[in-house]
Amino acid sequence: HKFPKEEAVYKLLYLESERQAASRSEHLAGRWAERKLKGFSEAKEVLEKMLQERYAPRTQTLTHNS
């Protein structure tokens, strides 16, 4: 058996490190996507109400004028 060229070994090491980095990144993104912050549900209700009050009249005006 012949040993692979040095460039080929470096390329394999690089590709494997990229694969592992992508795997770690996906794992962390999944964990953060599922995370819920304390008190967010209360704040979410307030924010949704504020958005509804601010933008609902414009939406109704746009749909009624069409």
- Distance CA(17)–CA(52), nearest Å, equals 47
Mean pLDDT computed over 13-35:
85
The predicted pLDDT at position 38 comes to: 78
Per cent of the chain over pLDDT 90 is 21
Residues 42 and 29 in one domain: no
Q: Are residues 29 and 52 in the same domain?
A: no
Q: List CB contacts of 4: < 8 A, sequence separation 6 or more.
A: 12
Q: Are residues 49 and 29 in the same domain?
A: no
Domain housing 59: 37-66
Provide mean pLDDT across the span 42-53.
Answer: 88
Residue 52 pLDDT > 60: yes
Predicted pLDDT at 56: 80
Residue 63 has pLDDT above 70, yes or no: no
DSSP 55: H
Provide the whole-model pTM. Answer: 0.40
Count of domains in the chain? 2
Residues 17 and 27 in one domain: yes
- Do 4 and 23 belong to one domain? yes
Is 19 found in the same domain as 49? no
